[in-house]
Structure 1
Amino acid sequence: MDGLTAASKEVQEMAIDVMLEGEVNGKWKLPANARFVAAGGLDDPLYDGFAHVNIETDTDHWLKWATTNDIHPAIVSYVTYKSCSGEDVLNTPYTGEKPNANPRKWEFASKVLTKTNQPDMLKSLIGEDLTTDFKAFVQQPLITVDDVVMGNYSSDDLEMTDSKKFATAASLATVDEENFATVRDFMKKVGPEPEATFEAIWAHGDEKRLEKLADAKINDTLQQDVGGKHR
């Protein structure tokens, strides 16, 4: 029962009766193993009727969810970068005056960004300061998939700030399956954490891609074993 506390008093009373009596209107009995879960604010009449569970979102778990639920790659990469830098941007304090960030707002921001491709549109969701920082993150000049596939880069292109490494991970995650291995090899040179971000965004929970990624990692291990024997 979502939003129970926002319902009218009559609906709330009916819900409580159903919960306590285990039947609807005295006619339809619920199974003995029926359980009730409600979400909403803690109004006094309902407070004593439920056990209370406080849900806190862990950044690592949210990122795993985000990569399989169509959250915009730039947002996934940005939150990952900030987390690796010791900064939590998934949840920011609410002062009562300016918008703050939380998992639900980032999900909404993803939809806005996907539809408009305009980072400035996120100000009303996550606040101006965070939007400005995110905008700087996504608007960095980055190497393209075509450049990587064609080998049009030098060792200087691998000298990146941490911010640029993660932005590159999101940008290159658009590569198709045919050229995935080539781009993945490039990301290995960028660094392990950006590489992992690239892989997670590229696979996005797709079974076929996860299988391809697993095969690539097995091949990595085999190559390391062979290399170790020859040393």
Structure 2
Amino acid sequence: MNENDIKRKQAKLRLEMLEQELRTGRATLQDIENARKEYEALRDGKVIETPVAVVEPTSSVPTRKFDEQPVQLSDSTKLILDGLNKELNTLDTDKAALSNSLKTVPKDGNAKHITDQILNLRDQRANLMDTIRYVQVKGCLPSAPPVVEVNFESSLPKDKFTLDRMIKNLKINLSKWQDKRNAAKTLAKIQEYETKLAKGSIELETMIRLFQSL
């Protein structure tokens, strides 16, 4: 396979990827048209006039935006980011390997199964970058809404003395959980205490609301 064959294959791949990205709004009809002209020119042996490209600076900033300024990173937050960055490196390595494997596809072969995997890894990377940015800003992992028992409020005592004591105890527990979360050395422990904090905060709000209504 000579250099022109490789360029033609790369152009065909680029066209196929753009056609798939058009469905998700990541590419425009003009992108498709430009890629098709490039591929057809290479296929027919025509000379391609290379336009002056406007190079946009690459960035690791994800697609989602957060208004808050990044927090000062604690040791536990750095631990989370280290784990996420390792995942990111793995995705990049896998994506590079798949891209290189395209060179082994026959001239008229179908590379769709490879391009599908590349696009899937690309989506995973975008989502992972969103998570990394979230951690940088919030200082913790995004989590699913905590599950609180449906009958939690109905199970609470209706006298202020007992309820007040429960509120004070829960506030103490929340403080302890926050300290343990900050001191956690593993992702599992960090997530465990973040879940307890989220669930406990909702329960505390419910208890205070009930207390004020009595």
Same fold (TM over 0.5): no
Q: TM-score range by the shorter chain?
A: under 0.3
- Relative contact order, higher structure (CA 8 A, sep 6+): 2
Q: Pick the structure with more helix per residue.
A: 2
TM-score (norm 2): 0.25
Q: Tell me the TM-score normalised to structure 1 length.
A: 0.23
